[in-house]
């Protein structure tokens, strides 16, 4: 009797080892998780899609709609490294499911943004800072990746692309960052910046006082750089409101041409190659800037490269956001 029980116990243990050995496929899962992590780090939706059981809509989900951030996203994604936690890998061929933990390390784009913003930098300065960070600021993101066994291979199952949204969180965060970090210029400061950055023909430069404040205007023809300082800050706000809201009345899609940001007592909008529906000249390049009691415009009405460069020269010297 004891001999029969012993034999039965040995058989059961052997079966358990046999089943566990056949059922587990951790090595293949680890290889697939590593391949997926590499594709995520490459920031290429096509490579990621080829590893997923369901990838419909992935291209649209992570399409870069605002071209201003294209180089920034690439810079952040270019900093991504990863490590698959081998001990976390669990798999069952019988159940056709598995999972693995992956930790992605990348530049701490939030910390870099804070430093750039505090130092008065703009979006271009932010992109440069991310590109040149070199591992000084890093952050980790860990996701648990699910896999399913289908058509004789392991594939990634990521419902609603939740893992990708976690790793690519910068695509949601960065567009919300404010760049209203420019100063409120005095009349003397504006004039100094203008004459330092632009070859001013004084025949086209005027200073006018009006009942509500003072205006400095440089308008040599196809472009204008203007400064309004109001006695009542509410008047500055009202003027900026008119410009800010006028683009809502346009029937064309302005998303690719106009960027707008408006806080309580400051804001700006930039314009990049915007034209009317009938292709007539419009405020094609430049920006409007509002801070407390002051409004500044720097605009050109043509596509001439040299005039765009003049606008850029002034905006850079003033530390104002450039069109992108």
Class of domain 23-176 (CATH, top level): alpha beta
Which pLDDT score is estimated for 41? 96
**Residue 213 tokens, joined:** 């404040």
How many CB atoms sit inside 10 A of residue 42's CB?
14
Considering the chain, what percentage of its residues have pLDDT values greater than 70?
Answer: 87
Mean pLDDT of all residues in 129-146: 96
Long-range contact set of residues 69-74: C-beta below 8 Å, sequence gap at least 24: 69/171, 69/174, 69/175, 71/127, 72/123, 72/126, 72/127, 72/130, 72/174, 73/43, 73/170, 73/171, 73/174, 74/43
**Least confident window among 14-18, 234-238, 261-265, 298-302:** 14-18
Beta bridge partners of 207: 216
The two beta strands, 138-150 and 153-157, are antiparallel
Which pLDDT score is estimated for 17? 42
| pLDDT tier for residue 14 given thresholds of 50, 70 and 90 | very low
| pLDDT tier for residue 50 given thresholds of 50, 70 and 90 | very high
Alpha carbon separation from 65 to 69, 256, 292 (Å, rounded):
9, 8, 31
Mean pLDDT of all residues in 123-132: 93
Task: Kindly report the pTM of this predicted structure.
Answer: 0.71
Which pLDDT score is estimated for 8? 44
């Amino acid at each position: 009797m004891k001999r029969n029980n012993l034999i039965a116990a040995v058989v059961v243990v052997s079966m358990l080892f046999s089943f566990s050995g056949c059922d587990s496929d951790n090595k293949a899962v680890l290889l697939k998780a590593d391949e997926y992590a590499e594709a995520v780090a490459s920031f290429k939706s096509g490579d990621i899609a080829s590893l997923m059981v369901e990838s419909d809509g992935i291209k649209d989900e992570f399409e870069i709609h605002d071209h201003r951030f294209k180089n920034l996203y690439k810079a952040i994604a270019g900093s991504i490294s990863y490590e698959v936690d081998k001990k976390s890998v669990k798999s069952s061929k019988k159940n056709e499911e598995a999972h693995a933990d992956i930790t992605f390390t990348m530049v701490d784009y939030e910390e870099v943004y804070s430093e750039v913003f505090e130092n008065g930098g703009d979006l271009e300065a932010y992109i440069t800072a991310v590109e040149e960070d070199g591992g000084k600021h890093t952050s980790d993101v860990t996701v648990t990746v699910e896999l399913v066994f289908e058509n004789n291979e392991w594939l990634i199952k990521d419902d609603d692309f939740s893992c990708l949204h976690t790793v690519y969180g910068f695509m949601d965060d960065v567009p919300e960052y404010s760049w209203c970090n420019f100063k409120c210029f005095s009349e003397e400061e504006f004039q100094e910046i203008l004459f330092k950055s632009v070859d001013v023909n004084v025949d086209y430069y005027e200073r006018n006082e009006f009942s509500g404040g003072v205006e400095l205007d440089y308008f040599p023809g196809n472009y204008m750089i203007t400064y309004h300082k109001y006695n009542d800050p509410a008047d500055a706000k009202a003027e900026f409101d008119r410009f800010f809201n006028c683009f809502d009345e346009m029937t064309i899609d302005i998303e690719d041409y106009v960027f707008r940001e408006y806080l309580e007592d400051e804001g700006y909008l930039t314009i990049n190659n915007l034209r009317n529906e009938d292709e007539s000249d419009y405020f094609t390049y430049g920006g409007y800037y509002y801070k407390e009691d002051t409004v500044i415009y720097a605009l050109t009405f043509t596509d001439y490269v040299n005039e765009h460069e003049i606008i850029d020269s002034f905006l850079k010297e003033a530390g104002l956001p450039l069109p992108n």
